[in-house]
Amino acid sequence: MMQVKHYIAVSPIHGLGVFAGENIPAGTVIWRFVEGQDFTISQAEFEDLPEKSRNWIRHFGYYNESEGGWVICADEGRFVNHSLQNNIGDRGSFTVALCEIKRGTELTCNYYDFDASAAEKIHEEQRKG
């Protein structure tokens, strides 16, 4: 669940993105996994879903090898885009601001830090253009 003021807008990176709705100090928790709102499904559960559902989860969720399943963010966190010059970083069940983030700046994370399906996901987005 997003822990800071934010808004969704068109992203220069891809589709929609999450933007800081306030100045955010370095070290601030940005997003936190909240049981009951966010959820994880096993690979077996994922494989039992219809193809359309699997494609949605591949796009908006991420595969967490340490959890052995797919994590689905139920709020706007699913719109955080990838960047190798990311300003938020993964800390397991939460993400933090890696630097001071000014209001209006897009929040970005490095998918490779936490998503075992990152290479496939990023390749697919690049292929689409």
30 phi, psi to nearest 5 deg: -95, -45
In a domain, 119, yes or no: yes
Identify the three-state secondary structure at position 117. coil
pLDDT in tens, 60-84: 999 988 878 999 999 999 999 999 9
How high is the pLDDT of residue 124? 64
- State the DSSP code for 104: T
In a domain, 1, yes or no: no
Using alpha carbons, list the distances in angstroms from residue 101 to 61, 106, 115: 24, 9, 23
pLDDT tens for each residue of the chain, 129 residues long: 999 999 999 999 989 999 999 999 999 999 999 999 999 999 999 999 999 999 999 989 999 888 789 999 999 999 999 999 999 999 988 999 999 999 999 999 999 998 988 988 776 665 454
Q: How many domains does the chain have?
A: 1
Question: The domain containing residue 13 runs over which residues?
Answer: 6-128
